Amino acid sequence: QIYLASTTAPVNIAVIKYWGKRDPKFNLPTNSSLSVTLAQSDLRTHTTASCSASYKTSDSLLLNGQDQDVSGARTQACFRELRSLRQKLEDSDSSVPKISTLPLKIVSENNFPTAAGLASSAAGFAALVRAIANLYELKEDPTDLSRIARQGSGSACRSLFGGYVGWQKGEQQDGSDSFAYQVAPASHWPQMRALILVVSAAKKGVSSTTGMQTTVATSSLFPSRANETVPRRMKEMEKAVQEKDFETFGKVTMMDSNSFHATCLDTYPPIFYLNDVSRAAIKVVESINAAAGKIIAAYTFDAGPNAVIYYLEENEKEVAGLFKAAIGEKDGWGVERGQKLDANSA
Ligand code: DP6
C-alpha cells in the first residue's frame, strides 16, 4: 500500500528582505521581513509526498528529476517535526494508520530556474512541508506549518500564506515565535502586479545561506539595517499595504532592496548580486517614475540579478508595456509577464 498526497506552493518575493541569521541551527532571522506571494501557476513548485512499507530505500527527494541529498540538517528538521506530529496522532487514536516511520518519497517540480534568485527554495520547502502535512493528515494551521518550513529555508515560511505576508523574527531561542502571518489577503489589494525580468537563469554565485552568514560576520552597515532600518520599515510597509498606498509601498520596497544590496557590497569579501542589466532595470524604473511624476513602479532584487517590478494594474501600459517595448526578449532579457497575486490564502 502507498499513501500519497500532492500540493503546490507559490513563490514569494520580499519587499522587506530577510538577510542574516541570529541562529543558524533553528534558522532564526536577525530581522523580520515582508513579502508578496505570487500566484501564477508557472512560478510554483508542485510536490507529491508518498510513503510506503514497500519502498526499499530510505527517505528520498527528487527535484526536477534529479536525486537530492536529504541528509542535510534543513530537510531532516522538516521530516522530523512532521513525523513527530503524525506520531502524536497515531498515539492518540489506534485507528490512525501507523505510517510515520515509513520511508518518505518526495517528488518536486519547479517551473522556473532553480537557485537563480527566484525564490525557488521558498516555494520548494513550503510545498514539501504542506505535501507531507497533507499526507499525514495533520490538523496544524499555516502558522504552525510556517514554523516548520522556516527550518527548511527561511523565506519558505512566507509561502504558506497568500497575499501580503510578514515573518516576525521572534525573540525565543527555540524559534517558537518565529513564524509567518498574513498582513492582508491578495483580495485586499488585487490590483498589485509583479513583472519578473529574468536577467539570468544561471545558478547564483553565492548562496543566500552562505552570503548572509558572511554579511553578519563582516558588514559594519548590517547592525543598523537589522536593528533600526528594518523595524521602522516593517511598520511603514504594513501601513502602506493596509492603506493601499503604492507610493510608500514602492519607495520602501526600492530602498530596502538597495539597503540589502549595500550590505552585500559591504560584506568582506564583497558579494555582488546585481549586474549591469540589473542596474539598467533600475534606471528604467526611475525614468518611468520620473515621467509619471510619482512612484508607479518599484524594483526589488533577491540574491541574484533578476528584477521583480511591482506596479498596479492601472499602470500596466506605462510599466510592463514600456519594459516589453524597450527590452523585449533581446539582450538576455526575458519578460515573464505581469503576475497576478494569489486570491486564496495559498
Ligand atoms: C534575498 O530563505 O534562501 O531572498 O534561510 O538560508 O534558506 P535560507 O535563506 P533564503 O534567503 C532568502 C533571502 C532573500 C530575501 C528574502 O526572501 O527575504
- Of ligand 1's atoms, which has the minimum distance to the CA of residue 303? 1
- pTM, whole model, 2 decimals? 0.93
Say if ligand 1 is within 6 A of residue 33 CB.
Answer: yes
My answer on whether omega of the bond before 269 falls inside 30° of 0, hence cis, is yes
Say if ligand 1 is within 6 A of residue 209 CB.
Answer: yes
Structure confidence at residue 296 (pLDDT): 98
Yes or no: say if 338 and 195 are a contact pair by the CB < 8 Å rule: yes
* Rounded distance from Cα 57 to ligand 1 centre (Å): 31
Note the pLDDT tens digit of each residue in 91-129.
999 999 999 999 999 999 987 765 455 666 899 999 999
Structure confidence at residue 337 (pLDDT): 43
Say if ligand 1 is within 6 A of residue 121 CB.
Answer: yes
* Rounded distance from Cα 155 to ligand 1 centre (Å): 5
Yes or no: say if 23 and 178 are a contact pair by the CB < 8 Å rule: no
Structure confidence at residue 333 (pLDDT): 44
Q: Is 59 exposed, middle or buried (0-12, 13-18, 19+ CB in 10 A)?
A: middle
* Rounded distance from Cα 13 to ligand 1 centre (Å): 10
Q: pLDDT averaged over the chain?
A: 91
Structure confidence at residue 117 (pLDDT): 56
Say if ligand 1 is within 6 A of residue 208 CB.
Answer: yes
Say which DSSP state 293 is in: T
Say if ligand 1 is within 6 A of residue 155 CB.
Answer: yes
Structure confidence at residue 331 (pLDDT): 41
* Rounded distance from Cα 94 to ligand 1 centre (Å): 41
Low-confidence spans in the chain with pLDDT less than 50: 115, 329-338, 340-346
Structure confidence at residue 56 (pLDDT): 81
Structure confidence at residue 110 (pLDDT): 87
Say if ligand 1 is within 6 A of residue 18 CB.
Answer: yes
Torsion angle defined by CA atoms of residues 246, 120, 197 and 321, in that order, rounded to the nearest 10 degrees: -50
Q: What is the ipTM of this complex?
A: 0.99
* Helical pair 208-218 and 246-265, crossing angle rounded to 10 deg: 80
- Which of 129, 155, 164, 203 should be mutated for ligand 1, with most atoms under 8 A from CB? 155
Say if ligand 1 is within 6 A of residue 14 CB.
Answer: yes
Structure confidence at residue 335 (pLDDT): 46
Cα gap 285→323, rounded to integer Å: 9
Cα gap 35→20, rounded to integer Å: 16
Cα gap 122→102, rounded to integer Å: 26
Structure confidence at residue 327 (pLDDT): 65
